[in-house]
Chain A
Amino acid sequence: MHGYRGQVLRVNLTTGQIKKETLDLQTAQKFIGGRGLGSYLLSKEIQPTVDALSPENKIFIVTGPLTGSPAPTPGRYMVVTKSPLTGTIACSNSGGFWGPELKNAGYDLIVLEGRAPKPMYLFIKDETVELRDATKYWGKLVSETTTQLLADVREPQARVLCIGPAGEKQSLIAAVMNDKCRAAGRSGVGGVMGSKNLKAIVVRGTGKVALAAPEKTKELLAILARKIKDNGVTGQGLPTYGTAVLVNIINEAGMYPTRNFQQSYFPTANKASGEALADEYLTKRVACFRCPIACGRECEVGEEKGEGPEYETLWAYSANCGVDKLDDVIRANNLCNEYGLDTISAGATIACAMELAEKGYIKPSEVNGPALKFGSSEAIIEWTRKMGAGEGLGAKLAQGSYRLAASYGVPELSMSVKKQELPAYDPRGAKGMALQYATSNRGGCHVRGYLISPEVLGLPEKIDRFATAGKATWAKAFQDLTAVIDSLGLCLFTSFALNADDYRDLLNAIVGVNWTKEEMFTAGERIWNLERVFNLAAGIKPEEDTLPKRLLHDPITEGGSKGHVAQLAEMLPAYYQERGWTPQGIPTKEKLAALAL
């Protein structure tokens, strides 16, 4: 088998039974792998209406056919499950080294079922697979868990995926962490792992991915390496400044959400920007497995050394909480990594709590810690810790901003879509992004169809960010291509330099299929529709394809996007039509049949 390794590891945590199954190659190819294959299997194996934190939910940890291959940035694995935060399908994606190690061990995916009677971890070394007691690691932070496990299993080259205390406590915004600082961050997938009493998966693999056409692959890799190097973003911007290079551009364009989206321009953004990070804190660039871009940052602040913050994290804790002290933002990011929290949702939930306190909903008497005040460094650090540890009001925050705001009767103060916190772009200033946020299959998210690229960054071409016409077509194309890239097991950042033909060529050369570009896009569309069908069956209504009221009705008051709101009503019907769905947003029978679903 080429690209794929051909084995599925099925682990029943309730009974302790471990089974090795053969990968169904035809199905794998139909859904590519990764996100697509995981979504298919989840849809097939669970009732979409199950309680996400019950033993009936399952977790699929899936690699793509290109994960672990010589393709550029092949470090990805995905955690596919039903999200306890949104109630939708969840697919959270992470880089680092863990995914390729799983492939090297001989497995394309792991299925986790049931709930272990006590804390366990899974140990994999090639054909050896064991469930082991994890009682001594339960309660430990991510770096300590990782270090101890590596020492205990006596496999220094093994890779560790684990949850932190936030996941153990089933926080709805808990992440699955790997290689200490990389996160499958979003949608509470760490909480689902916690609900299964599974602390970690340690993997060591000594095999490798076979290529269908090694010579062809080699030629192709040389061409793609040049493209990545010559591209301004992947060759210069990301390596030099990391993702945080976006802080200033998004701020100057007046779409940098500030103080829980109450403003969209943060006057002191430059103090906590990618430039400031590179000048004052960066000690080393960090790369995921076989990545020529190396956008990761190793940063030092005082005694602390950690990775990040990424752009989204930096925003969530700085502008969105009104804080411009970069060292404290770095500290908050390190805490998220240690407790295993999604940095976007964690920062955004603190920002929401700050607005709730500002408006008098959260009473000072409830606040068993630093005052929840915009601009408070102390608050972002201590409330992150309390969220991670589930202490007092922190436990409430760990359920995300929607449930927090709703508990005070004002859910509209949660800046979320389908209960998941929105990331670092005010969609009032980029209309296509508004449509993409509203229709994302996992709720508030920027990486389901990153329209910031054409709307603001001018890649692959510049389009008018304030126009609504044509955005439905852009949204669909970006969403479908992203589903492909995720499913292949590659990092989305390659898409700044590579185009659809490049991905198709990689897939053909490594897996040994002979797909046209159209067939590849159809696979992306198939995955998107599959996710949509799951969400509808889970009870998520098309009316939830919307945005917080503030973004729909209150125009931005200053800066480069002044006067604008998100004009969703103008774009949504065109989007449903573009997708071939009913005007109500339901995939038609004909559409599903055409996609062989």
Chain B
Amino acid sequence: MDVEVRLFATLRRGRFDRRPQPVADGCRLEELIRQLAIDPKEIAIRLVNGREAEIDHVLQPGDVVSLFPAVGGG
């Protein structure tokens, strides 16, 4: 199955902004992050379809996964 991955801020460096990503059925968020070769420590905010998700969240086909490093502003 495919999910859409969106990366932001410093996570984009040397990677991509957004792309479809094939993953195995029942893939968990942490497995996807490993597959993308991102150090989980670099990620501060994980959203699946715009909602905060735990690392053991099981992905569904077509899910939009948005990953952010630590960000702030205001």
Contacts and interface: CB of A to CB of B under 8 A. Distances in A.
B70 interface: yes
Contacts of A456: 45
B50 A242 contact: no
Contacts of B9: 237, 240-241, 245, 248, 274-275
A237 B49 contact: no
A560 B47 contact: yes
B45 A457 contact: yes
A561 interface: yes
A232 B44 contact: yes
Question: Which of B49, B71, B73, B74 gathers the greatest number of chain A CB atoms within 10 Å?
Answer: B73
B14 interface: no
B34 interface: no
A246 B52 contact: no
B66 interface: yes
A253 B50 contact: yes
A270 B8 CA distance: 9
Contacts of B47: 252-253, 560
A581 interface: no
Interface residues of A, number: 45
B17 interface: yes
Which interface class (under 10, 10 to 19, 20 to 34, 35 or more) fits B? 20 to 34
A25 to B, nearest CB: 33
Contacts of A559: 50
Nearest to B50: A560
A354 interface: no
Contact of B51 (A232, A446, A492, A560): A560
22 contacts: A233-B71, A234-B72, A237-B10, A238-B72, A238-B73, A243-B74, A245-B9, A246-B74, A248-B9, A248-B66, A249-B45, A252-B50, A252-B66, A253-B47, A275-B12, A310-B73, A311-B73, A458-B44, A462-B52, A492-B74, A493-B72, A493-B73
Shortest Cβ-Cβ A-B pairs, 8 listed: A560-B50, A232-B70, A243-B73, A233-B72, A252-B66, A237-B71, A246-B73, A254-B50
Interface of A: 231-234, 236-238, 240-246, 248-249, 252-254, 265, 270, 274-275, 295, 310-312, 446-447, 450, 452-453, 456-459, 462, 465, 492-493, 496, 559-562
Given A241-B9, A241-B71, A465-B52, 18 more contacts: A231-B70, A233-B70, A237-B69, A237-B71, A243-B73, A248-B66, A249-B71, A252-B8, A253-B50, A275-B8, A275-B9, A295-B73, A453-B72, A457-B45, A458-B45, A462-B52, A560-B50, A561-B50
